[in-house]
Amino acid sequence: MKEQGQQPNQKLPLQGAGGARVIISGGGTGGHIFPAIAIANALKKMDPATEILFVGASGRMEMEKVPAAGYRIIGLEIQGIQRGSIVKNLMFPVKLVKSVFKALQIIRDFKPDACVGVGGYASGPLLYAASIKEIPYLIQEQNSYAGKTNKWLGKKARKICVAFDGMDKFFPGADIIKTGNPIRRESVDIAGKQREALESFKLSATKKTILVTGGSLGARTLNNSIKAGLDQLIAADVQVIWQTGKFYYKNLIAELGENYHPNVCIREFVNRMDLAYAAADVIISRAGAGTIAELCVIKKPVILVPSPNVAEDHQTKNALALVQEHAAVFIADRDAEAKLVDKAIALLNDRHEQKILGDNIGKLAMPNADEVIAKEVIQITINN
């Protein structure tokens, strides 16, 4: 392993001259979409003549986020396997076949030089279609445990860009390159921003601060754990930036009130993650691969509470990969309500452990992943 808005049925005219033509497929969550956009931006920075088309899943987040970033996207009528629901899965085979045929049509119209799969529902049909049409493709595997689709598609991939060691148990070793996961650069630009950050959240510079983030949708376990431990946090005179997510914010505000306590800043969503990261002494988070990539660059002590509700328990495996390096604290989802706040307060009071965790997670940072992956994509188009 080496280290280092389009209408669905509208044909795509060939545009530009001289640049590579690249399809980037996948999405479903911010953890897939933001890295995909970062790769696209890096490709355009290297060569503005590069033509990029995104392929996502209709009705998913990418259909909004990608056009907002300035790129065209076509949606496939594809879904994932719905665990525990036979009825919801009845249409999966039909949607899968239709998505592959539509992906073949997209490839015929756009004539890509290479394709990139970042994970998510649309990635499988598009890369499978690319293999049928003998279009070279690259897989960006974000997690420490590869999913079944990527393992299967990896057999014919020109390159598999990974973020964790030991991925040769899933993919051909000669095709793997350790690049890390692309990050939102604006989110990790925290240098010299602590005062501005604390002021923006109306918090004190003389008190210790915990950031709790469960992603844009929120995390029930994290929210329940913080709610259960509010009295402890207030008694310890600890400040909390509590990003609840849109699914939980209204109920929590209705229960606690908008101005629950001066030490507790409750937000549905944090638009300026750089300020949230800058303000924090300790960070509590889920263990999505994209979030971990940012946390490595931030270099602050982290408590990870992996979501148990993701395919093949990816987040637990991601978190344990850091724990093995003494780069994060792990608390299982089932234990969080009883243990999380106690552990967070203890860590806030242990400067030595904070420094060890911050130093070790920083050693894992790969801040230029987007550029490294983009170079691999360009190399594929040259060698094709």
Sheet holding 302-304, edge to edge: 264-267, 239-243, 209-213, 282-285, 302-304, 329-330
Q: Is 184 annotated as a binding residue?
A: yes
Q: Is 29 annotated as a binding residue?
A: yes
**DSSP letters spanning 163-206:** SSS-GGGTS-GGGEEE------GGGS--TT-HHHHHHHTT--TT
**What is the Cβ-side half-sphere exposure of residue 92, based on CA atoms within 13 angstroms?**
12
**DSSP letters spanning 40-109:** HHHHHHH-TT-EEEEEEETTSTHHHHHHHTT-EEEEE------TT-HHHHTTHHHHHHHHHHHHHHHHHH
Contact 117, 126 (CB under 8 A): yes
Token pair in block for residue 372: 């490294």
Give the CA angle between residues 348, 260, 189 to the nearest 5°: 50
Q: Provide the sign of the torsion angle of the four alpha carbons 180, 182, 187, 191, taken in this order.
A: positive
Q: Is 99 annotated as a binding residue?
A: no
Nearest Cα residue to 79 out of 63, 64, 95, 65: 95
Q: Is 31 annotated as a binding residue?
A: yes
Binding-site residues from annotation for UDP-N-acetyl-alpha-D-glucosamine: 29-31, 143, 184, 216, 315
Binding-site residues from annotation: 29-31, 143, 184, 216, 315
